């Protein structure tokens, strides 16, 4: 017998499938898992974040394999970016997981809602694929490596606290720094493995992961991630970004009310 109603069981599967597709097509998708766990379950804020990070580890592995196979991560820039962002995000993720223990359920909702609105707005108005680079940062020089190190630390901290995947923030940030979209997607998948891996370890120490919900959401998310990787190379993601932004904006406002 299922510990939750069948309708909710099916709904979480569908949401997780869509989230997986979003993770590897636009980078924005994992937040749907976090929001669904917050809205439809009685898990604590720590359990929501910890469980979501288990999903992101699996999706990150699948995505990294896919973008390596299609060549985005085989170049020098891809390997360098993945190493820098992954390494620096570890400290941020561990710190964020620790800070989460001191965040109330209400504050968690405010933080999650604020990030959701911001991300939805960026997707809606910027259309990530066509968003012009604010500045071009060269990873081959010291100043560029330091800049990307700061980005990795920030992404890890934010992801660790709220329980959202790295790609949803990493992709738009990298694109605005002059990194091509598909390369940004590939690098973000690798970073997600490290961010979520170390963040999840912090939540394991707090016994804040739900095995049932982790399994329920991870399996369809993996299927979605594979589908998303295929779509990313055959479909213009602008349309997907627009749909996702339209979904995220009202969800974020709902969480803030």
DSSP state letter for 135:
S
Residue 2 within a domain: no
CA distance 72 to 31: 24
Higher pLDDT, 137 or 217: 217
Using alpha carbons, select from 97, 60, 31, 72 the residue that is nearest to residue 188. 60
- Tens-place pLDDT, residues 59-85: 999 999 999 999 888 887 788 888 888
Residue 3 within a domain: no
Residue 7 within a domain: no
Question: What is the residue range of 176's domain?
Answer: 15-256
Residue 212 within a domain: yes
Q: How confident is the model at residue 132 (pLDDT cuts 50, 70, 90)?
A: low
User: In this model, does residue 144 exceed pLDDT 70?
Assistant: yes
The residue with tokens 């439809």 is 40
- Tens-place pLDDT, residues 169-179: 788 778 777 78
Residue 4 within a domain: no
- Across the range 91-113, mean pLDDT stands at 84
Using alpha carbons, select from 116, 100, 84 the residue that is nearest to residue 200. 100
- Tokens describing residue 57: 């580890």
Residue 167 within a domain: yes
Q: How confident is the model at residue 207 (pLDDT cuts 50, 70, 90)?
A: very high
Q: Enumerate residues 6+ apart whose C-beta is below 8 A from 118.
A: 252
- Tokens describing residue 157: 């901290």
- Across the range 111-139, mean pLDDT stands at 70
- Give the distance, in angstroms, between the CA of residue 122 and the centroid of all CA atoms in the same chain: 15
Residue 6 within a domain: no
CA dist 10 → 4, 39, 140, 220 (Å):
10, 15, 47, 11
Domain count, the chain: 1
Residue 10 within a domain: no
């Amino acid at each position: 017998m299922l510990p939750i109603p069948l309708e909710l069981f099916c709904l979480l599967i569908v949401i997780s499938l869509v989230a997986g597709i979003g993770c590897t097509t636009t980078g924005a998708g994992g937040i749907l898992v976090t929001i669904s766990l917050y809205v439809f379950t009685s898990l604590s804020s720590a359990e929501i974040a910890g469980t979501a990070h288990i999903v992101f580890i699996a999706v990150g592995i699948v995505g990294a394999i896919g973008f390596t196979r299609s060549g985005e991560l085989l170049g020098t820039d891809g390997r360098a970016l993945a190493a820098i962002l992954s390494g620096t995000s570890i400290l941020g993720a561990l710190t964020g997981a620790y800070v989460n223990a001191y965040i109330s359920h209400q504050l968690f909702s405010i933080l999650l809602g604020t990030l959701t609105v911001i991300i939805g707005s960026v997707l809606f108005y910027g259309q990530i694929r066509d968003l012009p680079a604010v500045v071009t940062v060269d990873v081959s020089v010291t100043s560029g490596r330091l800049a990307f190190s700061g980005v990795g630390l920030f992404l890890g901290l934010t992801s660790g606290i709220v329980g959202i995947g790295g790609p949803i923030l990493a992709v738009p940030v990298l694109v605005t720094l002059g990194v091509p979209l598909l390369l940004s997607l590939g690098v973000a998948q690798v970073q997600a493995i490290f961010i979520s891996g170390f963040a999840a370890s912090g939540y394991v120490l707090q016994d804040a992961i739900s095995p049932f919900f982790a399994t329920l959401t991870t399996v369809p998310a993996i299927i979605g991630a594979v589908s998303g990787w295929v779509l990313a190379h055959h479909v213009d993601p602008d349309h997907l970004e627009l749909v996702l932004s339209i979904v995220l904006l009202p969800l974020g406002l709902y969480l803030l009310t």
